[in-house]
Amino acid sequence: MKKVGIIGGTGYTGGELARILCVHPDIEIKAMTSRQNAGKKVSDVQTYLKGYLDIEYTENISNAKDLDLVFVATPHGVAMKETPALVASGTKVIDMSGDYRLLDPAQYKKWYGHDHTDTENLKDSVYGLPEFFRPQIKKANVVANPGCYPTATILAVAPLLISKAVSTDIIVDAKSGTSGAGMVPSPRTHHPFCGETIIPYSVGTHRHTPEMEFVLGTVSKSETKILFTPHLLPVIRGILSTCYLTLIKDMTNDEIAKIYEKQYKNEPFVQFTDEPSIRAVVCSNHAQVNAKVFGNKVVAFGAIDNLVKGASGQAVQCANLMLGLKETAGLMTPGMGV
């Protein structure tokens, strides 16, 4: 049984990690941190875990050397402070924030507004999207768990870019449930403001833009340019990413479908389906993708649960690979459907 800890155990991603891992057949949660709730039982704070997780929150991880892996589920800027000591103790790390997603410290400073203080681990970190970086994840000590919007978008468009079927200028119109904004409420996520509307935000300034460009450029070996507009959708969970690309040559829908089938035929969590749906993937680690041809354009779709395949489920998928476990362990559950 592998032993893990969670730093930041009371946020949505930390709680979702606990929900998935408390029934994992090969992983045991030995520690969860929360400064505000230190000394309280986890199941008294997150009551959906009653009967599943019988440990108390601690203020810090005090026994890192006894843990095989630690998830850092904190806002950006925290993981780079925690990771060096964890790695030095021999513990593997999965960062749920953006601290290790951009390998260029200058790019990190540009988009996150402060210097990166752990460039040593940054240069060796691996992007945690198993469908494209599985061999590297297996050997990694530090994995950068992908952002939710990038996960849906990369899965949707990467096959087209890899096959050189499309040009590299991409328009991404993506919509996310309110849980993607995190647990701390804001005027924008206050229900009377967002409950019956769709709100575009961070247009041209969203931090997931350079992440998508960097990863898509890496997997396709070509420089990509993305115009990204995120929207807040009045649902709790889920992301639908709609991506517009230009075909380099005439192609049919059947030819496009074969590109996806070739790319994802052996992937347990990616399904090429006619109508990707948020409800079909909510509460699961599955992603649904599709693409349709319209003249010289192709529209690609990606649907995920932002808290599972877009965050905690994907982190568990990476942890399974890093710890030498079956990749699908603890994750093979279907979406809600309704």
Which residues carry out catalysis?
148
E strand residue ranges, the chain: 2-7, 27-33, 57-58, 69-72, 92-95, 126-127, 142-144, 169-176, 199-200, 225-232, 239-246, 270-272, 287-294, 297-304
How far lies 88's CA from each of 82, 93, 120, 141, 289, in Å? 11, 11, 12, 10, 39
Q: What does residue 139 show for φ and ψ, rounded to 5 degrees?
A: -100, -5
Kindly tell me the burial class for residue 35, based on how many C-beta atoms sit within 10 Å of its own C-beta (0-12, 13-18, 19 or more): exposed
Name residue, tokens 């941190």: 33
In which order are the strands placed within the sheet that holds 27-33?
57-58, 27-33, 2-7, 69-72, 92-95, 142-144, 126-127
